[in-house]
């Protein structure tokens, strides 16, 4: 797990769970003793961005970079110039948490210089329970739009099919069927299947799932949220 290229770019349609995946990824990296930076490039959403968990992340040893404008209420698509630092400094392991859809991916083209083949992985996160990406056509359209706008090729898929706390294994398996179709259509491998850590014990055998099992602990949901 986590044995990907130094810069991990997390993209996808909004609502796929990119931020949960990014935050969990960065925490796992830091826990394994890596010098880890999480760059929140989300200029689309205003709520539930990884910067809201800056304190928890920094306490766990993750460097968090987001807007140059402090405060979580800023309705401005600003990204700190600091974002380029861990991309340039190869001693850092980096997770780029990108905003949803092609609109969110637009900001990526700014960092294209650093995203050279072999230097980065760009994951396309799939949630088959989101209406826009529930079908092969829908998912393909999103994936192609993100590549077109960012001008950066996706390198692998992540199946993160969920219904937040109501997620069942059936959801994950249904998402996998879609990812297999998407994989066949694009030639992209499915690198991770991420699912709630509470679902992992229900797996009788991990062999039913493709890719590496990535247990998720929900960091962005308040206790009162479903």
Site residues, another protein (CB under 8 A): 14-15, 45-48, 72-73, 75, 127, 129-131, 134, 162-164, 166, 222-226
99 DSSP assignment: P
Q: From the CB of 116, what's the least distance to another protein, in Å?
A: 34
Residue closer to another protein, measured from CB, 86 or 100? 100
Residue closer to another protein, measured from CB, 205 or 226? 226
Residue closer to another protein, measured from CB, 88 or 226? 226
Residue 225: both structure tokens together? 């949220």
Residue 195's region, left for phi above 0, alpha for psi from -120 to 50, else beta, is beta
Q: From the CB of 50, what's the least distance to another protein, in Å?
A: 15
Q: From the CB of 14, what's the least distance to another protein, in Å?
A: 7
Q: From the CB of 71, what's the least distance to another protein, in Å?
A: 9
Helix ranges restricted to H, the chain: 18-31, 54-59, 85-88, 101-105, 136-150, 169-186
Indicate the burial class of 226 (C-beta count within 10 angstroms; 0-12, 13-18, 19 or more): exposed
Q: From the CB of 87, what's the least distance to another protein, in Å?
A: 29
Query: Could you write out the DSSP letters of every residue in 121-176?
Result: EEEEEE-TTSGGGSSHHHHHHHHHHHHHHH-----EEEE---BTBT--HHHHHHHH
Residue closer to another protein, measured from CB, 47 or 118? 47
Residue closer to another protein, measured from CB, 50 or 155? 50
């Amino acid at each position: 797990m986590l044995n990907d290229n130094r810069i991990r770019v997390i993209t996808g349609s909004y609502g796929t769970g990119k931020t949960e995946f990014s935050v969990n990824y960065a925490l796992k990296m830091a826990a394994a003793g890596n010098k880890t930076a999480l760059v929140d490039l989300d200029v689309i959403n205003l709520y539930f961005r990884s910067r809201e968990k800056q304190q928890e992340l920094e306490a766990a040893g993750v460097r968090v970079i987001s807007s140059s404008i402090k405060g979580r209420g800023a309705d401005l698509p600003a990204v700190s110039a600091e974002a380029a630092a861990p991309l340039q400094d190869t001693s850092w392991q980096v997770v780029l948490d990108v905003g949803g859809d092609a609109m969110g991916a637009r900001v990526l083209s700014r960092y294209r210089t650093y995203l050279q083949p072999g230097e980065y992985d760009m994951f396309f996160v799939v949630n088959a329970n989101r209406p826009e990406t529930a079908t092969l056509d829908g998912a393909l359209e999103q994936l192609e739009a993100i590549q077109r706008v960012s001008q950066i090729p996706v390198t692998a898929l992540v199946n993160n099919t969920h219904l937040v706390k109501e997620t069942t294994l059936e959801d994950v398996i249904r998402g996998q069927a879609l990812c297999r179709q998407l994989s066949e259509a694009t030639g992209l491998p499915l690198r991770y299947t991420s699912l709630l850590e509470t679902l992992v014990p229900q797996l009788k055998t991990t062999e039913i799932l493709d890719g590496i099992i990535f247990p998720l602990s929900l960091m962005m949901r308040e206790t009162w949220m479903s």
